[in-house]
A and B are shown apart, each in its own frame.
Chain A
Amino acid sequence: MASLIACHECDLLQREITLPPGGTACCPRCGGVLYRSVPEGFDRTLAYMLAAAALFVVANAFPIVALEAQGTRISTTLFGTVRTLHDQDMTSVAVLVFVTTFLMPALQMGAMLYMLLPIKLGLVPRRLPAMFRLVQTVRPWGMVEVFMLGTLVSLAKLAHIARVVPGVAIWSFGALMILLAAAAATFDPHDLWARVDALRRGESNGGAGGGTS
Chain B
Amino acid sequence: MTAALTAADAGLLACHACGLLSRPAAGHDLACARCGAGLHLRKPDSISRSWAFLIAAYVLYVPANVLPVMETGSLFGAQRDTIMSGVVYLWTSGSWPLALIIFIASIMVPGMKLLAMTVLLLSVQYRPDWRQHDRSKLYRIVELVGRWSMVDIYVAGILAALVQFKALATIKAGPGAVAFGAVVVLTMFAAGAFDPRLIWDPGEKRHG
Contacts and interface: CB of A to CB of B under 8 A. Distances in A.
Interface string B167-195: 11100110001100110010010001000
A69 B168 contact: yes
A151 B12 contact: no
Interface residues of B, number: 72
B162 A13 contact: no
B154 interface: yes
B25 interface: no
Contacts of A205: none
Given A6-B7, A67-B162, A31 B136 contact: yes
B141 to A, nearest CB: 12
B155 A140 contact: no
Give me the 8 closest cross-chain CB pairs, A-B, nearest first: A150-B154, A6-B7, A6-B14, A129-B36, A10-B200, A76-B161, A11-B6, A84-B161
B147 interface: yes
A96 B162 contact: no
A136 B18 CA distance: 9
Contacts of A43: none
A190 B15 CA distance: 13
Contact of B151 (A4, A74, A84, A149): A149
Given A10-B199, A12-B6, A81-B157, A158 B147 contact: no
A132 B5 CA distance: 29
17 contacts: A10-B199, A13-B7, A30-B199, A64-B158, A67-B162, A69-B165, A84-B160, A90-B160, A92-B181, A93-B181, A97-B157, A129-B35, A133-B37, A153-B102, A158-B163, A193-B18, A193-B35
A1 interface: yes
B178 A13 contact: no
A29 B7 CA distance: 14
A interface, size bucket: 35 or more
Interface in A41-82: 64-65, 67, 69-70, 72, 74-76, 80-82
B106 to A, nearest CB: 11
B44 to A, nearest CB: 15
Contacts of A153: 98, 101-102, 151, 155
A154 B158 contact: yes
Contacts of B14: 5-6, 8, 11
Contacts of A17: none
B16 A8 contact: yes
B148 A13 contact: no
Nearest to B164: A74
Contacts of A156: 95, 97-98
A39 interface: no
Contacts of A94: 157
